[in-house]
Amino acid sequence: MKLKYISYILIFSFLIFSFSCDDSDENTEVSEPLLGIYTISKSVLTSDATSLNGAATIPSGTNITSAIVTAFLSEIDCNSSANKAIEVAENNIINFICRYENVTQEQGSWAINPSRSELTLTLLIQGNLVPLKLTGLVESSSKIAGNVASIPVPPSLLASVDPLFAGVTDQAILISIDMELEKLN
């Protein structure tokens, strides 16, 4: 009888121990380092942006950050344009937000490849899904940087950089840029 009693205690103890052990893999969530709020801090052409007929050209190396910020973030209305930002959110969601104004607008999705060398932002811009693939991705605690090749943009986007693009009738101009997103939080 004592042996049976000791066996029950050992089995009960084993069961309690098995279920109460802390499995750190189950209780520890690894946070994605890309999550956060960003602004587009740099957009520099890496090749010439030229109209089909060659009438308008912006040379490689030209900083077009202001034009890119205006075009991409025009989708959200904020009290101040300085409050406009991009949120890389959980569940692979991209939001455009108005900081300090409590305004959030879901604007697309994001995905990163397993080697963390490419980040794809698929954004809803003027009713169209526009995939932006940042290659040669560089991540730090304060920014994301990479190259975006062959983005089709309307000539009007480039008219703020070179007025000659105002008269261009091309459907789109392909541009390639080095882009940096600076983390704001």
DSSP single-letter state for residue 63: B
CB neighbour list of residue 81: distance below 8 Å, 6 or more residues apart:
73
Q: Is 84 a member of any domain?
A: yes
Q: Is 83 a member of any domain?
A: yes
pLDDT digits (tens, 9 = 90+) for 71-98: 889 889 999 989 999 999 999 999 999 9
Question: What residues of the chain score a pLDDT lower than 50?
Answer: 3-28
CB neighbour list of residue 172: distance below 8 Å, 6 or more residues apart:
152, 153, 154, 155
Q: Can you give the pLDDT at residue 55? A: 92
Q: Is 105 a member of any domain?
A: yes
Q: Is 14 a member of any domain?
A: no
Which secondary structure element, helix H or strand E, spans residue 72, and what is its range? helix 65-72
Q: Is 12 a member of any domain?
A: no
- Tokens 């959980």 locate to 90
Q: Is 179 a member of any domain?
A: yes
State which residues form the domain around 51: 37-183
Q: Can you give the pLDDT at residue 147? A: 97
Q: Is 118 a member of any domain?
A: yes
Q: Is 9 a member of any domain?
A: no
In the chain, the number of structural domains is: 1
Q: Cα torsion for 149, 155, 161, 163, to the nearest 10°?
A: 150
pLDDT digits (tens, 9 = 90+) for 127-152: 888 899 999 999 999 999 999 999 88
Question: Within 10 A of 174 (CB to CB), how many other CB atoms are there?
Answer: 13
Q: Can you give the pLDDT at residue 29? A: 56
Q: Can you give the pLDDT at residue 19? A: 44
